[in-house]
């Protein structure tokens, strides 16, 4: 891997930046814990009989009609699903035993509601969290404590990375960069070719116009992507520069180690994984991760207690 010609000629002193307080918070918020409790509530949803039909219910009716299709002892109707719109609309608001008349494509029909079943989330409470069978968790308060403890490392690392990203953005905005045009163009062309091929492989068409009906040519689509992605090269220059200042480990070794680890996690060799992408994308990925890791170590001191 050749040394980059593009670099920072005057580095902004990021140590004078004040990291916003909301980025320095890392403990699980009450909102996040409540959201998780609501997920548990939905996961343990249960069915119960209801007294009046609402959208989303399951309704067992007796159908009476001259048309065989609707003349049944038990006809299931699911209001809101759009499977049988006329019947679904007809039973809304009905109570068990109530009869409703409806006009179908095969003629009139009478529906008598026999049973209304409603699936709803389990109320958030101690009985809900007990169903998770977590050792030491018997109450909602126990679950809140457990959740914070279990997610502590994740939230702390997330905060470190948020703070590191803030500082990288500050450095990029306030430093003086010297960009080699040829180096930038070669890196960008490789990146755009890779992104374009990835979009096509995923079934997306980069040639679709944002307005009108005239499709772009492949060349036009790539030029558009180039203009929209130019920020990526400056970002890469900042990341590689900061890596060089904060560690003696060469970027080539960082990329190699990252590839080997990622390949092992996916049951591949590093060579196989590299063949699925391009240097601009691969080097950019691991440069970003390493720069965030190194600056994240610096931001640790600013995280809330």
pLDDT digits (tens, 9 = 90+) for 58-96: 999 999 999 999 999 999 999 999 999 999 999 999 999
- Element (DSSP H or E) covering residue 71: none
pLDDT at 290: 96
Q: Quick one: CA torsion of 26, 29, 32, 36, rounded to 10 degrees?
A: 110
Is residue 232 helix, strand or coil?
A: helix
Tell me the whole-structure pTM to 2 decimals. 0.67
pLDDT tens per residue, range 183-193: 999 999 999 99
For residue 3, name the pLDDT band (cuts at 50, 70, 90): confident
Among 26-30, 156-160, 172-176, 233-237, the least confident range: 26-30
Predicted confidence at residue 282, as pLDDT, reads 92
Percent pLDDT > 70 in the chain is: 100
- Domain 46-120 CATH (choose: 3.90.1150.10, 1.25.40.10, 3.30.1600.10, 3.10.50.40): 3.10.50.40
Domain map (residue ranges) of the chain: 7-28+152-302, 46-120
Q: What is the model's pLDDT at position 1?
A: 66
Q: For the CA atoms of 28, 32, 38, 42, what is the dihedral angle to 10 degrees? A: -100
98-138: pLDDT as tens digits: 999 999 999 999 999 999 999 989 999 999 999 999 999 99
Q: Give the Å distances, CA to CA, from 24 to 35, 113, 146, 151, 154.
A: 21, 57, 22, 16, 14
């Amino acid at each position: 891997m050749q040394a980059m010609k593009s670099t920072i000629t005057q580095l902004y002193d990021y140590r004078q930046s004040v990291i916003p307080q909301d980025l320095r918070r890392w403990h699980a918020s009450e909102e996040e814990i409540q959201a998780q409790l609501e997920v548990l509530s939905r996961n343990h949803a249960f069915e119960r009989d209801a007294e009046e039909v609402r959208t989303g219910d399951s309704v067992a009716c007796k159908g009476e009609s001259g048309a065989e299709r609707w003349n049944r002892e038990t006809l299931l109707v699911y209001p809101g699903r759009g499977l049988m719109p006329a019947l679904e609309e007809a039973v809304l608001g009905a109570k068990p035993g109530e009869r409703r008349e409806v006009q179908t494509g095969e003629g009139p029909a009478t529906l008598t509601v026999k049973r209304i079943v409603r699936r709803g989330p389990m109320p958030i409470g101690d009985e809900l969290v007990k169903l998770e069978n977590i050792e030491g968790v018997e109450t909602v308060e126990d679950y809140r404590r457990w959740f914070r403890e279990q997610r502590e490392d994740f939230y702390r690392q997330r905060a470190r990375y948020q703070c590191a990203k803030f500082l990288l953005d500050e450095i990029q905005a306030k430093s003086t960069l010297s960009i080699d045009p040829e180096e930038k163009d070669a890196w960008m062309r490789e990146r755009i070719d890779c992104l374009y091929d990835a979009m096509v492989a995923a079934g997306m068409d980069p040639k679709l116009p944002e307005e009108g009906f005239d499709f772009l040519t492949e060349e036009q689509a790539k030029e558009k992507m180039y203009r929209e992605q130019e920020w990526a090269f400056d970002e890469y220059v900042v990341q590689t520069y900061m890596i060089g200042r904060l560690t003696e480990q060469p970027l080539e070794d960082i990329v190699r180690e990252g590839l080997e680890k990622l390949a092992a996690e996916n049951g591949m060799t590093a060579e196989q994984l590299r063949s699925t992408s391009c240097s601009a994308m691969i080097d950019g990925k691991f440069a970003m991760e390493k720069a965030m890791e190194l600056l994240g170590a610096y931001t640790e001191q600013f995280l809330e207690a």
